[in-house]
C-alpha cells in the first residue's frame, strides 16, 4: 500500500529521455501504449545536451575557421580571420536548444506524459519518482530503463575546474592555448581535432598502440597524418600517472617507453570511457541482474531477467552509440506491444567525426577472414572521384566487403569526407541483403561522393571503370 499519495497508473514507463528513451517512448505510444517518461535532467539526454550534437556543432565551427585560414592552395586568401569563441559557444547552445525543444514537442505530440525527477524501483510493477520537492509512485505493466552513462574518472585525475570531462570541454568559456587529452578514442580525437583547428596546441596521450583502436589501421593512419599536419602530438603506449593543478593550468605526468614526462597545459581532458548509470535505480529491489561492469543483462529482445522490465542503450552490452540506443528503443517498444522483434547489430555503423571522417558497418576484412568467410574486397580511392577532387578532399577510400560465392554485401568501411553520411548506403545494403551488383547497377548521380561506393562495388565484381584493376 502506498502511503502519502495515490499511485498513477501507466502501461509503459520509460526511465531516461535520451536518444534511446525518448524514441522508445514515442514508438510505444504509436503502438497504442499509455506511456510515461521520467527524466532527471534535460530531455535529449547526454547526446543532445552534452554529447553528439554540441560536439558536432563545435567540430563544424572549427572546420569553418580552419578553412578560412588555410585555403590558399585553392586560391582563397583571407586576411585577419578572427575567432570569437564565446560566439561559437552561443551558437552551439542554440543548436542544442532547438533540438531539445523539438524532443519535448515530439513527446507531447505523441501524448507521452513527461515527468521530471529521479526514478527508483519499488518492485516489479512500481517506481517512486522524486524531485527536490515531492515524490510520486507510478505503477506500470512494463518498464524500459534507458538511463545512459557518464564519463569514467581515473585515479589521479579527479574532475575539477582544470581537469575536465567531455561535458567540460564542450562548455569552456575560453579557448585554451594548450590542451592535454588523455584517451585517443573517438571523443578524444574529435574534440582534440576541433580545438587544434581553433589554434590550441593539443597533445593526445593514449594507452594502446594506436588511437581509434576500433578501426582498421589503414583508416586511422589517415587521421594520424592529418593530426600531425595540425601539430597535434600523439603519444601512444603511454600511461597517464597524475595531474598537478596550478593557479592557471595543469601539469600532467605520463609514462612512455619506460620514462616519465611532464607536460603543462591550460586544461586536461579525460576521455577514457563511460560508466553505465545503473547504480542508483534500486535494481536490487527487483532483482535485476547486473554484471561486474554495471551493465544490465538482457536477451535478444532487450528483456532483463524480470520479464516486464527492459533495458536499452549504454546500460547494456555493446558500443555506446546514440543510434544503437534509438534502435534498441524501437525494438523494446515493439516487443512490449506484442511484436516478435529482436536485435541484430550487424547493420549498426560506427562513426568518428575526425579528419577525415571514419565509418564502418558490418564485417571488416579482418573479421570476415577470421570467421573463415571467403570474400571479395572492392576498394576505391577518393582521389579518383571527381566530386572529391572538386571539394579538395581527396584523402580516403571506400572499401566494400562481399561474400565471394554470391556477392552479398556483408560489410564496408569509409574513410574520407562525409563518411558519416556515405556509410548509410552500405548499411542499407547489408540490412536488405543486397549484392555488390545491386550497388553497381544503382545509378548514382554525377559528380557525387556516393559514386565512390558504386565504384568500390565494381572493383569487388572485377569490372572497375575508373581505375585499372
What is the CA angle 420-94-200, rounded to 5?
A: 65
Tell me if residue 198 falls in helix, strand or coil. Answer: helix
DSSP percent split of the chain into helix, strand, coil, nearest 5: 35, 25, 40
CATH of 356-461, one of 3.30.390.30, 3.30.830.10, 3.90.1150.10, 3.40.50.720: 3.30.390.30
Is there a catalytic annotation at residue 444? no
Cell numbers representing residue 174 in the block:
575560453
22 in Cβ contact with 333 (< 8 Å)? no
Return the sign of the alpha-carbon dihedral for residues 450, 410, 403, 223: positive
CA pair distance 318, 333, nearest whole angstrom? 19
232 in Cβ contact with 202 (< 8 Å)? yes
CA pair distance 90, 457, nearest whole angstrom? 44
Is pLDDT at 1 greater than 70 in this prediction?
A: no
Is pLDDT at 91 greater than 70 in this prediction?
A: yes
Other Cβ atoms within 10 Å of 71 Cβ, number: 13
Confidence tier at 2 by pLDDT (50, 70, 90): very low
Cell numbers representing residue 334 in the block:
515493439
Domain with CATH 3.50.50.60 in the chain: 8-150+275-345, 163-272
CATH of 8-150+275-345, one of 3.40.190.10, 3.40.710.10, 1.10.1060.10, 3.50.50.60: 3.50.50.60
108 in Cβ contact with 114 (< 8 Å)? yes
Q: Which of 203, 198, 185, 258 is nearest to 59 (CA)?
A: 198
Is pLDDT at 193 greater than 90 in this prediction?
A: yes
What letter would DSSP give residue 238? E
Cell numbers representing residue 157 in the block:
585525475
Confidence tier at 247 by pLDDT (50, 70, 90): confident
Angle subtended by helix axes 52-69 and 186-198, to nearest 10: 40
Mean pLDDT of 372-386: 98
pLDDT, position 5: 66
CA pair distance 136, 5, nearest whole angstrom? 7
Other Cβ atoms within 10 Å of 86 Cβ, number: 11
Is pLDDT at 424 greater than 80 in this prediction?
A: yes
Kindly report, residue by residue over 24-53, the tens digit of the pLDDT.
999 999 999 999 999 999 999 999 999 999
146 in Cβ contact with 16 (< 8 Å)? yes
Domain with CATH 3.30.390.30 in the chain: 356-461
Write the CA distances from 98 to 101, 215, 265, integer angstroms.
5, 33, 34
Q: Which of 24, 22, 19 is nearest to 46 (CA)?
A: 19
pLDDT, position 122: 97
Cell numbers representing residue 182 in the block:
588523455
**Mean of the per-residue pLDDT values of the chain:** 96
Is pLDDT at 338 greater than 50 in this prediction?
A: yes
CA pair distance 257, 154, nearest whole angstrom? 21
CA 304 to centroid of chain Cα atoms: 24
DSSP states of 305-328:
SSTTEEE-GGGSSS---HHHHHHH
CA 225 to centroid of chain Cα atoms: 23
Catalytic residue among 261, 339, 446, 466: 446
pLDDT, position 132: 87
CA pair distance 431, 344, nearest whole angstrom? 9
pLDDT, position 469: 77
Mean pLDDT of 371-392: 98
Write the CA distances from 433 to 16, 376, 426, 427, integer angstroms.
34, 16, 10, 10
Cell numbers representing residue 316 in the block:
547494456
Mean pLDDT of 406-413: 98
**R_g over Cα of the chain:** 24
Mean pLDDT of 397-422: 98
CA pair distance 211, 188, nearest whole angstrom? 9
Mean pLDDT of 232-246: 96
Confidence tier at 3 by pLDDT (50, 70, 90): very low
Mean pLDDT of 373-378: 98
Is pLDDT at 191 greater than 80 in this prediction?
A: yes
Is pLDDT at 335 greater than 70 in this prediction?
A: yes
CA pair distance 418, 288, nearest whole angstrom? 41
Is pLDDT at 78 greater than 80 in this prediction?
A: yes
CA pair distance 275, 315, nearest whole angstrom? 8
- Looking at the chain, the whole-number percentage of residues with pLDDT higher than 90 is 97
pLDDT, position 64: 97
Mean pLDDT of 93-111: 96
Q: 163-272 belongs to which CATH class?
A: alpha beta
Element (H, E) at 250: strand 250-256
Amino acid at each position: 500500500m502506498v502511503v502519502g499519495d495515490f499511485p498513477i497508473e501507466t502501461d509503459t514507463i520509460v526511465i531516461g529521455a535520451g536518444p534511446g528513451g525518448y524514441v522508445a517512448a514515442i514508438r510505444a505510444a504509436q503502438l497504442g501504449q499509455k506511456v510515461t517518461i521520467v527524466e532527471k535532467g534535460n530531455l535529449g539526454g547526454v547526446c543532445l545536451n552534452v554529447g553528439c550534437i554540441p560536439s558536432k556543432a563545435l567540430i563544424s565551427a572549427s572546420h569553418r575557421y580552419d578553412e578560412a585560414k588555410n585555403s590558399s592552395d585553392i586560391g582563397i586568401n583571407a586576411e585577419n580571420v578572427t575567432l570569437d569563441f564565446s560566439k561559437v559557444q552561443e551558437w552551439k547552445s542554440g543548436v542544442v536548444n532547438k533540438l531539445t525543444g523539438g524532443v519535448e514537442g515530439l513527446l507531447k505530440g505523441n501524448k507521452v506524459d513527461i515527468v521530471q525527477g529521479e526514478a527508483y524501483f519499488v518492485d516489479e510493477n512500481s517506481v517512486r519518482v522524486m524531485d527536490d520537492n515531492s515524490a510520486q509512485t507510478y505503477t506500470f505493466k512494463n518498464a524500459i530503463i534507458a538511463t545512459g552513462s557518464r564519463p569514467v574518472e581515473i585515479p589521479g585525475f579527479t574532475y575539477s575546474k582544470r581537469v575536465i570531462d567531455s561535458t567540460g570541454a564542450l562548455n569552456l568559456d575560453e579557448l585554451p592555448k594548450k590542451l592535454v587529452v588523455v584517451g585517443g578514442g573517438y571523443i578524444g580525437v574529435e574534440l582534440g581535432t576541433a580545438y587544434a583547428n581553433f589554434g590550441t596546441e593539443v597533445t593526445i596521450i593514449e594507452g594502446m598502440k594506436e588511437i581509434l583502436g576500433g578501426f582498421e589501421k589503414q583508416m586511422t593512419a589517415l587521421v594520424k597524418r592529418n593530426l600531425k599536419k595540425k601539430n597535434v602530438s600523439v603519444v601512444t603506449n603511454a600511461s597517464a600517472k597524475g595531474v598537478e593543478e596550478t593557479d592557471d593550468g595543469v601539469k600532467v605526468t605520463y609514462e612512455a617507453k619506460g620514462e616519465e614526462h611532464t607536460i603543462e597545459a591550460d586544461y586536461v581532458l579525460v576521455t577514457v570511457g563511460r560508466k553505465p548509470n545503473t547504480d542508483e535505480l534500486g535494481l536490487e529491489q527487483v532483482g535485476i541482474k547486473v554484471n561486474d561492469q554495471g551493465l544490465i543483462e538482457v536477451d535478444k529482445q532487450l528483456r532483463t531477467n524480470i520479464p516486464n522490465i527492459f533495458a536499452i542503450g549504454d546500460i547494456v552490452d555493446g558500443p555506446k552509440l546514440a543510434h544503437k540506443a534509438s534502435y534498441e528503443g524501437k525494438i523494446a517498444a515493439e516487443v512490449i506491444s506484442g511484436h516478435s522483434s529482436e536485435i541484430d547489430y550487424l547493420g549498426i555503423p560506427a562513426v568518428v567525426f575526425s579528419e577525415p571522417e571514419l565509418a564502418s558497418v558490418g564485417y571488416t576484412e579482418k573479421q570476415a577472414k577470421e570467421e573463415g568467410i571467403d570474400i571479395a574486397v572492392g576498394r576505391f580511392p577518393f582521389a579518383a572521384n571527381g566530386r572529391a577532387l572538386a571539394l579538395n578532399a581527396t584523402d580516403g577510400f571506400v572499401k566494400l566487403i562481399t561474400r565471394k560465392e554470391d556477392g552479398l554485401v556483408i560489410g564496408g568501411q569509409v574513410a574520407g569526407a562525409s563518411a558519416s553520411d556515405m556509410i548509410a548506403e552500405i548499411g542499407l545494403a547489408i540490412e536488405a541483403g543486397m549484392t555488390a551488383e545491386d550497388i553497381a547497377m544503382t545509378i548514382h548521380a554525377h559528380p557525387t561522393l556516393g559514386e565512390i561506393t558504386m565504384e568500390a562495388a565494381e572493383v569487388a565484381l572485377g569490372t572497375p571503370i575508373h581505375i585499372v584493376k
